[in-house]
Structure 1
């Protein structure tokens, strides 16, 4: 018996090390703050680059559904149906004098569509340049202020009808960074020097107003240096600014070619009652709505304590701040028209209105999220990118699904249903480099993710991993998937779903024999759909049983006779360890998962005693071999799945 105890201690030491190694990036069971599934079968195609890219951008044209990728000296048009490159455009650096770079490269930083033309800009060997490409001709122009000088410098761009808005350095050293209207039908307009302090521009968005186009705004999201010198204050704060689409700058005497409508307000995300905020804006996705008031801003923030958060804002709330807040530092009567008001002729605005914009552009009130008291979602994952899809479920209601990505290529699919996030799944892109860009093709329900070596296409409607039963499909709460006669499939109007709370009673209501099947799965060992295994095991040896994890939101237990034992998690399996087989160890073992209103027998074992002459004579030797084998083979714990 001493030998068995020694072997078991060795067995447990090796097992604990194995569990630690195997579960380094594996969710812990039973928590709602982790992904329900670890998705595997979702990458449907890849595009490999000829050489690794230091920088890539993705451009998706919503009207045509076309998607382009720009890298060093090239632009590719991607065919997401055939998973191939359908068009190649090569744009090498073109300049007469020598480059400071060796070799002289043109890193593409801007791709846009203007009618039938493709507008492309790049670093062009530290001399930004743009090309307007059409079927008939190629037009070239100087690109300073549209493209940065190097791909590492901060920049952004936005097309609004026939105009191009951009933020890019005006000097080689990356300075003189401001948001400007650079190209198009309207006059070029730029910012006043004192409006921002060391900004990092994150995103810009145009919010349409179908019945009131003269009041349409361009919103700019950025972070800048905090003017608060308190040592406890975060050195950076996040801001939202706006300018009017109709703004043509001031008169020739005052503020010519300078925004007359620029206003900014602090964008806050955190816990106001504790004065705890996520101050560093990382990425923004604006989800437009038919009524502009319903447009929502999904903003991704990081903090000084290495956590990330998603806060959701209403454009209506942002507008209320700009329309009603006092101007920070300004204590006189507010002139008419109110500073920031959109007018048809900005050049005719009175000087009093423009002076307030020039000297006091910041609002006193802060912009809070729709949930106000807390972020919508807080995580220890270092997310860097966010996109949001609108999905029509089987109940004909629309749901928002957040797709959050880390630098390492971990992607979380998160359902927004009410005020609580539900983390549907986690996908790990198999890349050794950092994520560079991410775009959503909402029409095809595909996510395009770019790394240094290749592009991956993720199928958001992959439902195979919830295909075991109606209950499994419903518990996923995935608006992209519903239960049909063909199993868990892309959502159709008559599919079975329960996105709101995931309760599986909808299966019983739609499947006549559901209750009978569910009872049978729990209580009958002889059914063919129960994974049942017969094993003959020698007496006295340490032994373990393994059960596959179908959902990380479920709680798993082992049942043997009248006793229940907790699951020991190792990677994607639940284990039950038996220190040494005794007469009481034999019989039936059931692995039970419980999630919401669903109880399921995942796996069943029948253990019987194996007694032969050789095993009896060498029982101690068999014990040593059993323990040693488990320690050497880390993956052995999965062989019974």
Structure 2
């Protein structure tokens, strides 16, 4: 009886997990194809941090960690190079070839420019700056920082209540410039980015991404609206008589992500990643949104599309003839702009037209996972084509690797990095193909080229559709020229076209072939009349799993990461050979084999030795609990 109670309690825990939204459902394109544990390098903090972001310098392989203090770490082995100062650090940027660090400084924000005395040694304080408007007074308040050509652009509240939040140019070579108070309504700044124009530097702009309070307070209106704004890098403010030290080029527009035909929008911008291109027209903006119905979406925009709105749309609330030069135009001397042009910016900075995504009728990717961070890597595959891979952080410490190919997302895999805390910051090292992830208790480095996870065969490697990997004579390895891949559609027919496919004894045949490695079937002696179940592991959540018994085929019942076949009562027709077969695209393979033979005398089950993969005989009451739960799971998902 003690054993039975123990087993029932264990199942209660398993059933709770089954119904978790984080358990992928078989056959769903919105599920990760594979789940893997996050075995990665990490640096543990001595004390958990409530506020933790960092700056990563790929060239020097240095990682600056900021929170209640600032540490400089060697990014290769996480050794501490320097423990620099005790402060609640909120900003750290590369600034005029040095490091620009700002902190709350006891509600009196201050900034320091640090210059290295000796490489990898202590940094010296070169200059002090007034930090108001760059760092918030309280570290939990919203803030933003960007350095452009030796100038510091920032957004931070000016008081302890968190008000007077606006985007400013605050330190550097150019004139300090700030915003007009009526331009924004309780904004939350997300990101800012400088887009270079190598052939036209005087027309370069800084783009600001944020959300602000909606002026429409109707019951069906979302309280937030997502925005993109821009200012000219050359903007020095207006004349001494009018708009002095105010942006003369500020314009804003609404970012649309959703289903316009259904008037269904994701209005809460959460994170931004800007993928820069040599041609500024091709620079892309990957935006992560959430909604009031607990879904997240990724929409993709181009800077060219954003610029067309700012250059061609009419101005909201302005009905007169648009003055010349057009409001928002970059000029060499903003102080000489005519008052009519500046007045439109002052009173009507919002565009009438909205900025739609590249897939204007729907987001690129919609998910029930609660994503919080996004970075995007460009990867050259073995076919010499370049692919974009989205790396999305969930609120449960996981990273999803999502392939962008055409207009369809493909979720390659899920990596669990932490079970106890959510991801607070994430940065990409594109050269080393790693991401650096910050938690409240640690920093972790995740290798994006974990190709050994698909190393079973050429087909397994190709089905992964992971541009970081390709099949070679050494198995599934980091992508090299000449390796076997099929990133576009994942069909495994490419394996039969190359001799390397047979390296590990995998004989690849025609379509719909069955790959059956030598699996020694498990034999079970089972008495007649008892309930019984069989189990096989789920290797790909995109595959279809079938139990084959003689001429009969039955779909599996999913329970966590296993496929079950439940037999309510063993009869003569239930004995014999069973195979668990997975089928994905043009590739099938047998994962498990069982042989059930009749046991003449009924024997007592050993519940203490229970294991989900050992296919034991179950107590009838427990079996029916398992059966009912599995069936209910099939219905609900």
Same fold (TM over 0.5): yes
Aligned-residue offset at 1:65: 4.7
Residue 555 of structure 2 aligns with which residue?
566
**1:637 is matched with which residue?**
612
Q: CA RMSD in A?
A: 2.5
Change over 3 Å in CA distance of 1:256–1:523 after alignment to 2: closer
Give the equivalent residue in structure 2 for 1:66.
62
Do structure 1's residue 280 and structure 2's residue 268 form an aligned pair?
A: yes
Structure 2 residue 79 is the aligned partner of structure 1 residue 85:
yes
- Between the aligned partners of 1:338 and 1:573, the Cα distance in structure 2 is 63
For the structure 1 residues 534 and 304, does the alpha-carbon distance in structure 2 shift closer, same or farther, using more than 3 Å as the test? closer
Maintained 8 Å contact 2:41/2:446: yes
Gap change, CA 1:602 and 1:364, over 3 Å in 2: same
1:314 maps onto 2:289 in alignment = no
Cα shift readout 1:393-449 (whole Å, capped 9, x = no counterpart): 111111111111122212211111011111111112224223221111111111111
**In structure 2, what is the equivalent of residue 478 of structure 1?**
466
Cα 1:304/1:387, change in 2 over 3 Å = same
Checking the alignment, whether the CA contact within 8 Å between 2:400 and 2:411 is kept in structure 1 is yes
Q: Does 1:213 align with 2:201?
A: yes
Report deviation, 1:180. Answer: 0.3
Cα separation, 2, equivalents of 1:168 and 1:423:
36
- Relative to structure 2, which stretch is displaced further, 106-115 or 187-196? 106-115
C-alpha separation between the residues in 2 aligned to 1:513 and 1:115? 52
Kindly report which structure 2 residues correspond to 1:96-107, keeping only aligned pairs within 5 A, or say none: 106-107=87-88
Contact 1:155 1:167 in 2 (8 A): yes
Question: How far apart are the structure 1 equivalents of 2:419 and 2:550?
Answer: 46
1:199 aligns with 2:187: yes
Among residues 155, 164, 172, which one is paired with 1:184 in the alignment? Answer: 172
Distance 2:293 2:501 in 1: 52
Q: CA deviation at 1:607?
A: 3.0
Q: Does 1:134 align with 2:144?
A: no
Say whether residues 1:597 and 2:586 are aligned partners. yes
Distance 1:391 1:640, change over 3 A: farther
Secondary structure at the counterpart of residue 134 of structure 1: strand
Within a 5 Å distance, the mapping from 1:217-616 to structure 2 comes to 217-511=205-499, 517-518=507-508, 529-540=517-528, 541-611=530-600, 616=601
User: Which is bigger in relative contact order (C-alpha 8 A, separation at least 6)?
Assistant: 1
How far apart in 2 are the matches of 1:280 and 1:533?
53
Q: Is the 1:405–1:412 contact (alpha carbons within 8 Å) kept by the matching residues of 2?
A: yes
Q: Does structure 1 conserve the Cα–Cα contact (< 8 Å) formed by 2:155 and 2:167?
A: yes
1:493-531 C-alpha deviation (Å, 9 max, x unpaired): 111111111111111111377698246999999x7x333
Query: Alpha-carbon deviations, 1:327-379, whole Å to 9, x = none?
Result: 11111111111110011111111111111111110000000000000111111
Change (3 A) 1:581 1:43: same
Q: Distance in 1 between matches of 2:193 and 2:10?
A: 55
The 1:46–1:524 alpha-carbon spacing in structure 2 relative to 1, beyond 3 Å, is closer
User: Which runs of 5 or more residues in structure 1 are unaligned?
Assistant: 1-7, 93-105
Alpha-carbon distance in 1 for matches of 2:420, 2:408:
33
In 1, Cα distance between the equivalents of 2:216 and 2:509? 64
1:575 deviation in Å?
A: 1.7
Q: Does structure 2 retain, via aligned residues, the 8 Å contact 1:209–1:215?
A: yes
Q: 3-state DSSP class of the match of 2:520? A: strand
Equivalent position of 2:635 in the other structure? none
Is the contact between residue 398 and residue 418 of structure 2 (CA under 8 Å) also seen in structure 1? no
User: Secondary structure, in 3 states, of the residue corresponding to 2:202?
Assistant: helix
Which of 38, 47, 50 pairs up with 1:51? 47
Classify 1:305/1:419 alpha carbon distance in 2 versus 1 (closer, same or farther; 3 Å): same
Q: How far, CA to CA, are the matches of 2:91 and 2:39 in structure 1?
A: 27
CA contact (8 A) 1:69 1:75 kept: yes
Go from structure 1 to structure 2 and tell me whether the alpha carbon gap of 1:575 and 1:13 turns closer, same or farther (over 3 Å shift).
farther
1:456-513 per-position Cα deviation (integer Å, ceiling 9, x unaligned): 1111111122111111111111111111111111111111111111111111111377
Which residue pairs with 1:5 in the alignment? none
- Kept in 1, the 8 Å contact 2:397–2:420? The answer is no
Maintained 8 Å contact 1:36/1:551: yes
Distance in 1 (CA, whole Å) between partners of 2:59 and 2:9 is 59
Q: Secondary structure at the match of 2:116?
A: coil
Is the CA contact 2:109–2:130 (under 8 Å) kept in the aligned structure 1? yes
Give, in angstroms, the shift of residue 45 of structure 1. Answer: 0.4
Q: Say if 1:300 and 1:386, in contact at 8 Å, map to a contact too.
A: yes
1:597 to partner: Cα distance: 1.2
Q: TM-score, normalised by structure 2?
A: 0.90
Tell me what 2:92 maps to: 111
Under a length normalisation based on structure 1, what TM-score does the superposition of the two structures give? 0.89
Mapped to 2, the partners of 1:51 and 1:516 lie a distance apart of: 50
